[in-house]
Structure 1
Amino acid sequence: MTDHSVKKIDSSASPQGDLGQTYLVSGTAVALRRWSEAAGTEGEPHTRPYETVGYVVSGKVEIHVGDDRITCGAGDSYLVPEGATRHYKILEDLTAVEATSPPARVDNRDDA
């Protein structure tokens, strides 16, 4: 049976993650989040069990994946493969929207 449900998430009530992310709507195959961080923030190298695609709304981020490095500013989009070692350096106060597949989830979340 196919699920034909539609969801609306009020982002003012969305859970906040420890890394500056706001979890928005999620489905069975993809999740959406908003990511905001201040300039000068730099993360440690890490991996994630999901593919990430993102769109920079404002600011600038340097994304390191393995030995590759890209810089994305407002209007740019990016892809980080599942399982790839990555880290980020925030060059200008950043707001980005990301989708993850499979979904990066928040425990005990009620999306209704």
Structure 2
Amino acid sequence: MSDTTITKIDSRHSPKGPDGEKYLASGTHIAMRMWENEQPGAPKPSASRPYETVGYVLSGRAELHLAGQMVILEPGNSWVVPKDAEHTYKVLESFSAVEATSPPAQVHGREGK
């Protein structure tokens, strides 16, 4: 029998991660998180993560730097950061986005901070 559990998360009560991300619903193979009103500033530290990330921009603008490339992320854009890929973001305008990670990036014990 397959898992038929429904999980509903109210983002007003979601835990926040060390970088300000808000953790949303999380399943066995995928998790969601939201970056809300991230303010412009210096680029985030370069990082690689042990999971693949896909994202969607809700508002604002940011630069994504990945493998010698740079793309501007704007409302309505989506993107992919492959597993273990070195990357960084620079927020240009107050930025909100939703991301999904696979395998899940968890709120506690996350590797690769």
Q: How does 1:1-112 map to 2 (within 5 A)?
A: 1-36=1-36, 37-107=38-108
How big is each residue's C-alpha offset from its partner over 1:53-81, in whole Å with a ceiling of 9 and x where there is no partner? 00000000100112111111011111110
| TM-score, length-scaled by structure 1 | 0.91
What residue ranges of structure 2 are gaps of 5+ in the alignment? none
Contact 1:40 1:92 in 2 (8 A): no
Aligned length: 108
Q: Percent identity?
A: 48
| TM-score, length-scaled by structure 2 | 0.91
Letter in 2 for 1:76: N
Q: CA RMSD in A?
A: 1.3
What residue ranges of structure 1 are gaps of 5+ in the alignment? none
Contact 2:63 2:90 in 1 (8 A): yes
Query: Could you list the runs of 4 or more consecutive aligned residues of structure 1 that deviate by over 4 angstroms after TM superposition?
Result: none
* Distance in 1, Cα, partners of 2:66 & 2:55: 14
Q: CA deviation at 1:20?
A: 2.0
